[in-house]
């Protein structure tokens, strides 16, 4: 397989440059692997995970994607094998948290996020909203048979137990500690609002109170977003936290497609791009990372800054978001509107 040749070239070059004993010892420490597991990777018998390759690339200053055979080719990672195992709520959340933990070790880390839909980290503040999105993602993308229930109920056991909520909470905690520059479309809540309205209209909620609760959580998340944009800081829940900085933009016209660029200082390390939402492609290709950084600069230059002192732009943007929440409420069946009074 292609990855086997790439890994063999990578480890052979590292051994030639640094010597086998040093490389083995350093990789054991970096990847938290026993010798036997490490040797399987060095022999190409087991594929490096994305987070493992990210750590190696950062420590040794090496890009695995530069080993490709064609300069016109970009290598992406996507979990295509055994879809019943790799495409599930727990597998999805576990992949994200592992990648974010690897990123957390990088110096001067920053995320750049161009968002057509609200960055998924914000769903994970609320248990019910988290489970509802996992339910919807499974219905559309993963199709795990055990989760294709006729009605939605916020039961963690259906999604892997409390571990699913713990992983979601860990992801949100890591996000709060990362600096980020984000470009939000006006439509960031539209998809989730439409899912709530549709599910209510087909009587797809087991609890009549659930749509009301989900709308309240979206309204609460919107309030928190506005506070973050106003202060330029993400929230901190304990003294040990280092709250990340937030630079927020609004683009009312350009189409964003949930694109993430990972930066460490001046280096552009990796790109994540939505593919079969919420699944995503990942690459460390240096040329594509550089192109993506330039694309972010272009997009930011034609967007409205809604951070810190940009009170007018910020107020208009969040007024529009709240209007969309209210309009979603009005689209519900008349007999169900009693559950959508936006009480807080």
DSSP state of 48: P
- With CA atoms as reference, report the closest residue to 273 among 212, 285, 312: 285
pLDDT digit string (tens) for 132-182? 999 999 988 888 877 777 789 999 998 888 999 999 999 999 999 999 999
Which residues does 117 contact at the CB level (< 8 Å), separation at least 6? Answer: 187, 188, 190, 191, 192, 258, 277
Q: Tell me the CA distances in angstroms from 318 to 227, 258, 259, 301, 315, one per residue in order.
A: 11, 20, 22, 20, 5
Question: Cis link prior to 278 (omega < 30° from 0)?
Answer: yes
Answer whether 57's CB lies under 8 Å from 284's CB: yes
Residue 3 corresponds to which tokens in the numbers above? 């990855």
Which residues does 122 contact at the CB level (< 8 Å), separation at least 6? Answer: 172, 221, 224, 225
> What's the predicted TM-score (pTM) here?
0.76
Answer whether 140's CB lies under 8 Å from 210's CB: no
DSSP state of 153: -
Q: How many CB atoms lie within 10 A of CB 136?
A: 18
β-bridge pairing 246-251 and 304-305:
antiparallel
Compute the radius of gyration of the chain from its Cα atoms. 22
C-alpha to C-alpha distance for 62 and 75, rounded to whole angstroms = 15
Per-residue pLDDT tens listing for the chain (344 residues):
555 777 787 888 888 888 999 999 999 998 888 999 999 888 888 888 878 887 888 788 766 555 444 455 677 777 655 444 556 889 899 999 999 999 998 999 999 999 989 999 999 999 999 999 999 999 888 888 777 777 899 999 988 889 999 999 999 999 999 999 999 999 999 999 999 999 999 999 999 899 989 999 999 999 999 999 999 999 877 666 788 999 999 988 877 788 999 999 999 999 999 888 888 899 988 889 999 999 999 999 999 999 977 899 999 999 999 999 999 988 875 544 444 444 44
4 membership: H or E segment, kind and range:
helix 2-18
């Amino acid at each position: 397989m292609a990855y086997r040749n790439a890994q063999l070239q990578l480890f052979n070059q590292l051994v030639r440059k640094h010597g086998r004993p040093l490389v083995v010892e350093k990789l054991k420490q970096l990847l938290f692997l026993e010798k036997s597991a490490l040797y399987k990777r060095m022999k190409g018998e087991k594929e490096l995970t994305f987070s493992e390759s990210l750590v190696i690339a950062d420590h040794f200053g090496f890009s695995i994607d530069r080993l490709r055979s064609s300069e016109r080719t970009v290598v992406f990672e996507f979990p295509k094998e055994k879809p019943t195992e790799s495409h599930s709520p727990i597998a999805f959340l576990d992949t994200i948290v592992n990648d974010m933990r690897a990123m957390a070790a990088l110096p001067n880390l920053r995320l750049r996020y161009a968002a057509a839909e609200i960055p998924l980290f914000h769903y994970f503040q609320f248990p019910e909203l988290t489970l509802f999105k996992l339910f919807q993602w499974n219905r559309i993308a993963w199709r795990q048979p055990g989760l294709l229930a006729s009605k939605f109920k916020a039961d963690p056991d259906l999604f892997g137990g409390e571990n699913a909520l713990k992983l979601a909470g860990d992801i949100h905690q890591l996000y709060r500690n990362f600096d980020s520059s984000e470009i939000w479309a006006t439509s960031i809540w539209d998809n989730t609002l439409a899912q709530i309205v549709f599910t209510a209209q087909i009587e797809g909620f087991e609890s009549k109170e659930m749509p009301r609760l989900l709308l309240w959580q979206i309204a609460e998340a919107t309030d928190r977003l506005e506070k973050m944009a106003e202060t330029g800081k993400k929230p901190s829940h304990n003294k040990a936290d280092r709250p990340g900085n937030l630079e927020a933009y609004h683009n009312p016209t350009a189409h964003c497609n949930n694109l993430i660029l990972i930066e460490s200082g001046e280096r552009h390390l990796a790109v994540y791009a939505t593919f079969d939402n919420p699944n995503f492609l990942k690459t460390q290709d240096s040329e594509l990372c550089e192109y993506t950084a330039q694309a972010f600069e272009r997009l930011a230059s034609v967007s409205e800054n809604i951070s810190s002192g940009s009170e007018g732009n910020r107020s208009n943007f969040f007024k529009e978001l709240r209007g969309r929440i209210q309009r979603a409420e009005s689209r519900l069946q008349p007999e169900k509107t009693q559950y959508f009074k936006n009480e807080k």
